Amino acid sequence: MSSYIADVTVMLKPVVNDPQGLVVRAGLEKLGFAGVNGVRVGKEIRIEIEAESTEQARTAVQEMSEKLLRNPVIEDYEIAIREAQRA
Amino acid sequence: MKFGIAVFPGTWSDRDCAHWVELAGHDAVMLWHKDTDLQRVDCVILPGGFSYGDHLRTGAIARFAPLMNEVSAFAQDGGYVLGICNGFQILCEAGLLPGALARNSSLEFRCEPSWLRVETSSTAFTRGLEVGDVLQVPVSHGEGRYVADSATLDELERSHRVVFRYTAPDGGPVGDATPNGSMHDIAGIVSKAGNVAGMMPHPERACEPLLGGVDGNRILESLALLDVAGVA
């Protein structure tokens, strides 16, 4: 068994209006940052998990994402996974 | 009628809902989130609040509570379920109602009066009302923006399952003045079978003149028209 760290990024689907993103974008413009074409605000969920392999860890985290971490009606998710550094 | 009122950790409108139904002459029993017995109630109310702190997403944890397994089975058998505010969010998370409730477009928590146009009188929850009636019922939420894909919205509209829509006090179009930016100004919907309803506004907070109005009682009056004999 190895330890893995999975970062699950949950974002509102592109078709769902994201008022937080609009406010952040307006804030950036107010600060003088030019060229910002869009801002979306999501959340990141970091999961530390024991598994036999990266693939097994990914499968487990995928199942967690489908069942609980995202709402399929309004949210998409992406998983980035890496082996944890040994102490 | 006998109402069962769900209590999750963080629910805050449970006692208000009990007061509401008792004031109308009904019985109320509280259903704890770990309960697996619905005590043969005629209707389950999922009240407002912040179940399990609303962590992750509103209603996301509550839908997995032991009580919700029973509520789902009850609903599938035709039992009446009314989700108010957080209860509506839980019903959507549980897949008992379509769509989702997202962050208000204002990004503000809104606690204020709202006006609801009755869009159908052919549900158990509105059969004592007429289409076009306007009810004044307060809202109190930060995540009440009803969102669904266009196919779901079309289906809801076509099958007259939008129960309440935000409206101006005179029944006219609400424009940009909805409390939350809901698609199609949707404030409440009903399931395909017609026995599960969800709404963001709080009818239990419009049950006595002291509270500023009694329009919330119209929903209970509709439910009281049910012949509940034979409902488990």
Cβ pair B87, B6 in contact under 8 A = yes
Q: Is residue A27 part of a domain?
A: no
Q: How far apart are CA B70 and CA B82, in angstroms?
A: 14
Q: Is residue A22 part of a domain?
A: no
Q: Does B92 touch chain A (CB under 8 A)?
A: yes
Q: Is residue A21 part of a domain?
A: no
Please compute the mean of the pLDDT values over residues B12-40 and round it to a whole number: 97
Q: Is residue A6 part of a domain?
A: yes
pLDDT value of position A26: 96
Residue B91 has pLDDT above 80, yes or no: yes
Q: Is residue A56 part of a domain?
A: yes
- β-strand partners of B146: B101
Amino acid at B154: D
Residue B228 has pLDDT above 80, yes or no: no
- The CATH number given to whatever domain includes residue A9 is 3.30.1280.10
Q: Is residue A36 part of a domain?
A: no
Domain locations in chain B as residue ranges:
2-223
Q: What is the per-residue pLDDT across B31-49, written as a single tens digit (0 to 9) for each?
A: 999 999 999 999 999 999 9
Which residue of B89, B107, B147 is the best one to mutate when testing the A interface, meaning the one whose CB has the most A CBs within 10 A?
B147
Residue B208 has pLDDT above 50, yes or no: yes
Q: Which residue among A16, A23, A69 places its CB closest to the CB of B102?
A: A16
* Chain B contact set for A17 (CB, 8 A): 102, 105, 145, 181
Residue B74 has pLDDT above 50, yes or no: yes
Residues B6-23 as b/e (b if ≥16 CB within 10 A, e otherwise) read bbbebbbbbebbbebbee
pTM as predicted:
0.94
> Cβ–Cβ of A74/B147 closer than 8 Å?
yes
Q: Is residue A64 part of a domain?
A: yes
Q: Does B23 touch chain A (CB under 8 A)?
A: no
Q: Does B151 touch chain A (CB under 8 A)?
A: no
Average per-residue pLDDT for chain B: 96
Q: Is residue A11 part of a domain?
A: yes
* Chain A contact set for B145 (CB, 8 A): 17
pLDDT value of position B226: 86
pLDDT value of position B209: 96
pLDDT band at B230 (very low <50, low <70, confident <90, very high): very low
Q: What is the per-residue pLDDT across B128-152, written as a single tens digit (0 to 9) for each?
A: 999 999 999 999 999 999 999 999 9
Please compute the mean of the pLDDT values over residues B213-228 and round it to a whole number: 92
Nearest to A43 by CA among A6, A69, A4: A69
Q: Which residues contact B166 (CB under 8 A, 6 or more apart)?
A: B114, B115, B116, B117, B174, B177, B178, B179, B182, B185, B186, B187
Please compute the mean of the pLDDT values over residues A63-73 and round it to a whole number: 97
Residue B232 has pLDDT above 60, yes or no: no
Q: Which residues contact A35 (CB under 8 A, 6 or more apart)?
A: none
Q: Which of residues 165-184 of B touch A (CB under 8 A)?
A: 181
> Cβ–Cβ of B107/A69 closer than 8 Å?
no
Number of domains in chain A: 1
**Element spanning B112, H or E:** strand B110-118
CATH of B2-223, one of 3.40.50.1000, 2.40.37.10, 3.40.50.880, 3.40.50.10540: 3.40.50.880
Q: Does A16 touch chain B (CB under 8 A)?
A: yes
> Cβ–Cβ of A19/B149 closer than 8 Å?
no
* Chain A contact set for B142 (CB, 8 A): none
Q: What is the DSSP string of B123-186?
A: STTTTTS-TT-EEEEEEEES--EEE--HHHHHHHHHTT-EEEEE--TTSS--TT--SS--GGGE
Residue A30 has pLDDT above 90, yes or no: yes
Closest chain A residue to the Cα of B149, Cα to Cα: A73
Please compute the mean of the pLDDT values over residues B215-229 and round it to a whole number: 88
